[in-house]
Amino acid sequence: MNCKKNKIRQITLLLLGAMSLPILSTYAAEYVVANLGSRSFDVLLRTAEPPATAELQIFLDEDGTLPATSLRIDKQPILGSTEGDAYARRSADRQLRSAITAAGNSLFRVENASADTAYHVRLVFDENQLPEGELVRVQTLPAGEWRNTAQQMITDIDRAGAGWIGTLSISNAAAPLLSICGDSVPTEKELYFNLANFQALDGSMLEPESGTPLILRLYGKAGTPVAEKTILFSPPAVRADVAALSNELTPLLQLLVASALDGISFPPSGETFLFAGNRIECQVAESTVTSNGIQRLCYGWSGSGSVPLNGRSTEFAFTLNTDSTLNWNWRTNLWLEVVADHGNVDLSSGWYKAGSQLSGTVTPDEEWTFAGWSGSGSGSNQLTTFSLTTPSTLQALFDPVLVPGGGGMPEWWLTEIGLSGTDRNPNADLDRDGFSTKQEWIADTHPTDPDSKFEITAIEPNADIGQVRLVWQGGREASQIVEALSGNLSTTNWVAVHTNLPPTETVGECTLQVNGQKAMFFRIRAKR
C-alpha cells in the first residue's frame, strides 16, 4: 500500500473489469460492476457515509431517456441458498443487509436482462449521482452453454464482522466476481468465489491456471480505504468432475492511526483494514502547522504490533503482520510576543512549549522607569513569572523620568533635542522667542529655533458671509485648541471653537462663523 500525498483525495472511482482497478482512497464514493453474465449483473455502491436513499437507474440509451422497464432490480440481494428454516434465514438476511448498509455499502442485483445487450446505468444517492457526467455502459455477455462445473475458492480473511464485501478479478475477465462474508454460511469471515464464473467478453469461460494473479479487493466500513491483495492461484491437489475446492487464508489486519491533526498524515487517521504482508509507507506531509499563534510540531511516532515502538522522524515504512497502532506525536507550541518599547526584557519573542513556566526580568532604558507588566505578566516587580497556556503578549510598561518643575516635560525629550547642562533648565528661553523650554515642550516646538513657535499667523475676516479664517503654526504632538471670546476682553468667557488632535500639521487653519458679533477675540493654546 503506497500512502503518498497524492492518494488522499480520490473521489470518483470505477471498477468495470479486471484491468481497471481503482486505487485506494480515504473518501469512498465509488461503484463496482461485478458478476456480469448474459442475463444479470451486480452493482456495488460505496459511499463515505451510509446514504439515506440509494437508487440504481438503468436505461436503454446513453442519453438516459429510455428506462429499461423489463429489468428486475433488487437492492442488497442476499445471494446463495434459500433452504433451511425460513425464520432463521430471514433473520440472518436482515442482519446481513443491516450490516452492509451500516458499512456504507449498497448492493444492487439486476436480473432479467437480455443477453449481449448494452445498458446504461447511473447511481443516485441522497443528492449525488455517479457518474456525474455520461452514463456508464454495461454490456451483458452473449448467451453461453450451461456450466456444470464449479471451482470454488474459499478465502478466509480471519476477521469476523458483518458487512465485508469482496471482489476477485483476473486479467481479461469481463468483470470481477463478488462475494459477501456470511452469505448463506455460518461464518462472517469467509468469501466464496466460484472461479468457473469468470468469463471473457465473448462469454467463454476463463479458467485460471496455476500462478495466475488474482486481485482480491475487500470493501468494509465507510471512510476506510479499500484493502487489496494479489493472490497467485494454486489449483487444488485433487480435482473432481463437478466441483473443486481451494482454500486461501488471507488475514485481514487492523491498523489504528491517531493524530492530533487530520488530513495531513498517511495513512489517514482512524481505522484501516489491510491484508497481512502489506508494506505501508507512513508520512506526515506537514511536520509544522501554524495558525493563530498556535504551532503544532510533529516530533515522531509511537506504535504497537508491527509498528516500531517509537521513532523521531516524520516518515517511515513497515510491513503489517499483525493488528497494529500508529500514534503520531505532536507538540503544541504557543507564540509569545515580548514588547518593551523603552527597555529590555531578558525573554525574547518566539515559540514556547504550551504550559511552559516562563520568567522575565526588565531593565528600563535611561530616563525611563519601569511602571509594571501587562498581558501575561502582572505586578510592578521587575521580575515576573507566568505559565504560557494561550498565545500571549508580555508587555513591559514604562514611565518617563520627568524634569523637576517642567510641567510634565520628560528628560528624554531634552536629550532628544540635544540639550545638556544648564540648557536643560525648563524656564530658560534659549531661542529668545518669548517661550520657555517648558512652554515649547507643551506646544511641541523647538526651544533653540526662533522660527519654531506656536502662534496665530493670520486672521482673515469675510464680512460678506460672516466668517473668519484663522491660520497658525505649531508642533505635531500636542493638542491645539482654538478659543473665542466675544465682547469685552476683561471677561474670561473663552469658549473652545475648534480642536486639532495629534498628530497635527505644523500649519493649521480653520474657518469660523461670526455672524452678528460686534467684536471677536481669538487665541490658541496647546495641551499635552
The separation between CA 453 and the C-alpha centre of its own chain, rounded to angstroms, equals 60
Set of cell numbers at residue 87: 425464520
Q: What is the pLDDT of residue 7?
A: 27
Sorted by where each begins, the domain ranges of the chain are: 5-250, 260-266+277-330, 340-400, 455-527
List the strands of the sheet with 479-486, edge to edge.
495-500, 479-486, 520-527
Set of cell numbers at residue 62: 446513453
What's the CATH number for 5-250? Answer: 2.60.40.380
CATH architecture of 455-527: Sandwich (2.60)
Contact 191, 282 (CB under 8 A): no
User: End-to-end distance of the chain based on CA atoms, in angstroms?
Assistant: 73
Set of cell numbers at residue 401: 523620568
Q: What is the mean pLDDT of each run of 10 residues along the chain (528 residues)?
A: 30 29 44 93 88 91 94 71 49 60 83 95 90 91 79 87 85 93 67 90 88 92 82 81 79 93 88 90 94 96 97 96 96 97 97 97 97 96 97 97 94 95 95 94 95 94 90 95 87 91 94 84 93
Q: What is the pLDDT of residue 133?
A: 84
Contact 220, 163 (CB under 8 A): yes
Helix (H, G, I), strand (E, B) or coil at 371: strand
Q: Where are the beta strands (DSSP E) in 408-478?
A: 455-462, 467-473
For residue 424, the 8-state DSSP code is: G
Set of cell numbers at residue 115: 443477453
Q: What is the largest CA-CA distance in the chain?
A: 133
Contact 445, 474 (CB under 8 A): yes
DSSP string, 33-51: EES--SS-EEEEEE-SS--
For residue 250, the 8-state DSSP code is: -
Query: Is it true that 5-250 and 455-527 share their CATH fold?
Result: yes
Q: What is the pLDDT of residue 255?
A: 94
